[in-house]
Each structure stands twice: as C-alpha cells, then as structure tokens.
Amino acid sequence: MILVGVALPAPAVTSYANEFFVVDRCLDIGGSYDYSRGVCDSSRNHPYVPFSSRHPHLARTAVPLGTAGLILIIIGAAVFGRASWRVA
C-alpha cells in the first residue's frame, strides 16, 4: 500500500520537479525560460506561464492522486505498525 501511495502522484511530481530545476538553472545563468518552446533564451525575456496552464491534465489529477496516495500511505503505515507491534 505504501509503494502504491507513493507511486500514484509520482508522474505529476516528477514532471513539475524536472521542469522546476531546468527553469532554475536557466535563471541562474541569467537567461529567461521560454515555456512555449521549453528552452532557455539568453536574448529575450519571456512571460511566466503557470504549470497548470501548460499541463492541465497533470495539474487536475495531482491533488486527487496525491490525496489518495497519502491515504494509502497512512493505512499502510497503520497496518504495518500494528503487525510489527504484535510480533514484538
């Protein structure tokens, strides 16, 4: 249950984190990230486009899957905690 709970929101979290680090590296070198093309541009400034606008499906599914994942993690931890308590 715990592994499924962690795996459910993984695609949305991974996509957001990967893009976050790419944009951060671009800004660190003085560039501007072009969200429409997905590249760092050192010659022009580009407007910020929210993740939810660019990836609406991932944004819509992240919260329900994250909530379901958290519930499964809590249930799995409770079941594992009881099982290990009975053994000891």
**pLDDT tens across 38-66, in order?**
999 999 999 999 988 888 888 788 788 88
**Torsional sign, CA 63, 69, 72, 77:** negative
**DSSP type of residue 37:** T
Q: Write down the pTM of the prediction.
A: 0.67
Strand partners, 40: 33
Quote the domain boundaries for residue 44.
Answer: 2-87
* pLDDT average, residue stretch 70-79: 86
CA angle 10, 82, 71 (to 5 degrees): 30
pLDDT exceeds 60 at position 87: no
> How many domains, the chain?
1
